[in-house]
A and B are shown apart, each in its own frame.
Chain A
Amino acid sequence: MSYIVIEGLHKKYDQTTVLSNINMTIEKGQLITLLGPSGCGKSTILRIIAGLTNATAGEIQLEGQNMNGVQPKERQVGMVFQSYALFPNMTVKENIAFGLRMQKVNNTELEQRVQEMLHIVHLTEKANAYPKELSGGQQQRVALARALIVRPKVLLLDEPLSALDAQIRKKLQTDLRAIQRKLGMTMILVTHDQDEAMAVSDKIFVMSNGQIAQYGTPTEIYTNPQSEFIANFIGHYNVIPRQVLETMIGEKLPGDNNKFAIRPEALHLEMMEGDLCLRGVATQSLMSGNIIRTTLEGDCMFTMEQLHQRGHKLELGKNYNCYVAKEDVIALS
Chain B
Amino acid sequence: MKKRSLANIIFLFLMLYLLLPIVATMLYAFSSKWHKSIFPEGLTFKWLATLFQDTAFMQAFGRSVLLAGGAVIIALIVIVPAIFVIVLYFPKYEKWIQVAVVMVYSFPGIILAVGLIRVYSTIGVPMILVVLGAYVIGILPYIYQGTRNSLRNVDARQLLDAAQLLGATKTQAFTKILLPTVYPGLFAGALLSFSVLFGEFVLINLVVGSRFETVQIYLMKKLSTSGHIASAVVFIYIVLMGLLTFAIAILTKRSKGATNL
Contacts and interface: CB of A to CB of B under 8 A. Distances in A.
Q: Do A and B bind each other?
A: yes
Interface of A: 50, 52, 71-73, 75, 77-79, 81, 83, 85-89, 98-99, 102-103, 131-132, 146-147, 150
A75 B161 CA distance: 13
Interface stretch (B34-42, B77-85, B152-160): B152-160
B113 to A, nearest CB: 42
B172 A102 contact: yes
A73 B165 contact: yes
A103 B165 contact: no
A134 to B, nearest CB: 10
Contact of A98 (B154, B166, B181, B257): B166
14 contacts: A72-B161, A73-B168, A75-B165, A78-B165, A83-B158, A85-B159, A85-B162, A87-B159, A87-B162, A87-B177, A89-B177, A98-B166, A102-B166, A150-B167
Specify which of A73, A99, A146 lies most central, judged by the most chain B CB atoms within 10 Å of its CB. Answer: A73
Interface of B: 154-155, 158-159, 161-169, 172, 177, 180-181, 257-258, 260-261
Given A72-B161, A79-B161, A102-B172, A88 B167 contact: no
Contact of B154 (A73, A81, A88): A88
A79 B177 CA distance: 17
Given A85-B155, A85-B162, A87-B159, A102 B258 contact: no
- Interface pairs A-B: 8 shortest CB-CB: A102-B167, A99-B166, A85-B162, A89-B180, A85-B158, A72-B164, A132-B260, A73-B167
Contacts, number: 66
Given A71-B164, A77-B165, A132-B261, 6 more contacts: A52-B161, A73-B165, A73-B167, A81-B158, A131-B261, A132-B260
B167 A99 contact: yes
Given A73-B169, A102-B168, A150-B166, A87 B161 contact: no
Main secondary structure of the interface of B (DSSP, over half): helix
Contacts of A52: 161, 164-165
Contacts of B261: 86, 88, 131-132
Contacts of B166: 73, 78, 98-99, 102, 146-147, 150
Nearest to A72: B164
Contact of A88 (B164, B168, B172, B258): B258
Contacts of B180: 89
Contacts of A75: 165
B121 to A, nearest CB: 47
Most buried by B among A81, A85, A131: A85
A159 to B, nearest CB: 13
A87 B181 CA distance: 8
A89 B176 CA distance: 9
Contacts of A87: 159, 162-163, 177, 181
Contact of A89 (B164, B165, B181, B260): B181
Contacts of B159: 85, 87
A98 B154 CA distance: 18
A75 B154 CA distance: 26
A89 to B, nearest CB: 4
A132 B255 CA distance: 13
B109 to A, nearest CB: 39
A16 to B, nearest CB: 16
A50 to B, nearest CB: 6
A89 B184 CA distance: 11
A85 B161 contact: yes
A132 B162 CA distance: 17
Contacts of B162: 79, 81, 85, 87, 146
Contacts of B165: 50, 52, 72-73, 75, 77-79, 147
